[in-house]
Amino acid sequence: MRHLKKDVLRVLADGTPRSAGSIAVAVHFWPIRAMGTYLHRLRRYGLVCHLASRWRGGLWHITQAGTERLRWFERHPVIHLGLGVKGEDDDSHNAGLSLATSIVPTHF
């Protein structure tokens, strides 16, 4: 999920607080409601902060640690293995779904 982390931090890098839903749409992440859970994980890592607001679920912004991690990601590019679902673009965060259908168990 390293590419998802990089994409989320890149969306927040402009300094504008965003809702979880708008971040999910910007990085093509579905189901959209799962983005809140993922952002809470990034908050535990200290990469994003949650701001209370009138918006349902609040707004999120990048921390200094998140900015530093994004710079590190930009110096160390993500290598995509081409495991995405057929017909979807390379930025899909559902990578690996088609891999599961091609694995045949050797014993039961």
Q: pLDDT of the chain along its 108 residues, tens only?
A: 578 999 999 999 999 999 999 999 999 999 999 999 999 999 999 999 999 877 677 899 999 999 999 999 889 876 666 554 444 444 445 544 444 444 444 554
**CATH number of the domain that 21 lies in?**
1.10.10.10
Q: Is residue 105 part of a domain?
A: no
Q: How many helices (H) and strands (E) does the chain have?
A: 5, 2
Note the pLDDT of residue 1: 58
Q: Is residue 102 part of a domain?
A: no
Note the pLDDT of residue 65: 97
Please give the tally of structural domains in the chain. Answer: 1
Contact at 8 Å (CB) between 66 and 47? yes
Task: State the residue range of the domain holding 53.
Answer: 2-80
Q: Is residue 9 part of a domain?
A: yes
Torsion of CA 71, 73, 74, 78, to 10 degrees: -170
Q: Is residue 70 part of a domain?
A: yes
